[in-house]
């Protein structure tokens, strides 16, 4: 039934785990081959660097897609009424407002990763980062996680806001 992979009968008495059932071993090999094949068919790409780790995703999730759509709309509305010289922090949207518009009001305090994915989407297209338009309602500045989004920093935040008011974002999100 079992196959002796270690050698003598005395080794079997000292360590009963040195024997592996041949059928079990074959099943494990088949499972490993299936997993290897599955991972070679789907190659996720890194989409967002946040806080020292890379999130691997095949595509944008629904929350991020909704946020991005709302931010593009908000950018267009803001651009129609303000210029880079007339915009103020009070003109920007808050985490609560953008989450509510996106249909996820419960995520107001946990939206950082998705906003980071928005920054990654903008970066990949050579556009200013739309996540800069979202601020904390009390301080009227981005939250602490903003600096972890790709290409974003507290020092360049306001310049990024002004750049958003000049930029042309695509009509559809892909």
| Structure-token pair, residue 28 | 């494990």
100-127 per-residue burial string, b: 16 or more CB within 10 A, e: under 16: bbbebeebeeebbbbbbbbbbbbbeeeb
Report pLDDT digits (tens) over 67-86. Answer: 999 999 999 999 999 999 99
Q: Which pLDDT value is given to residue 173? A: 79
Q: Which pLDDT value is given to residue 30? A: 72
pTM score = 0.66
Strand pairing partners for 19? 4
Cβ(91)–Cβ(78) below 8 Å: yes
């Amino acid at each position: 039934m079992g196959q002796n992979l270690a050698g003598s009968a005395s080794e079997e008495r000292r360590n009963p785990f040195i024997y592996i059932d041949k059928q079990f071993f074959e099943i494990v090999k088949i499972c490993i081959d299936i997993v290897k094949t599955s991972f070679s068919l789907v190659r996720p790409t890194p989409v967002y660097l946040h806080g020292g780790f890379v999130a691997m995703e095949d595509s944008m999730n629904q929350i991020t897609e909704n946020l991005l759509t709302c931010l593009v709309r908000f950018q267009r509305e803001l651009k129609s009424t303000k210029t880079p010289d007339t915009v103020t922090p009070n003109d920007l949207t808050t985490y609560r407002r953008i989450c509510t518009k996106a249909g996820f009001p419960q995520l107001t305090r946990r939206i950082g990763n998705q906003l980071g994915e928005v920054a990654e989407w903008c970066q990949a297209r050579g556009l200013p980062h739309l996540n800069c338009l979202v601020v904390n309602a009390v301080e009227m500045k981005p939250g602490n996680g903003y600096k972890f989004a790709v290409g974003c920093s507290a020092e360049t935040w306001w310049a990024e806001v002004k750049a958003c008011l000049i930029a042309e974002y695509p009509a559809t999100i892909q």
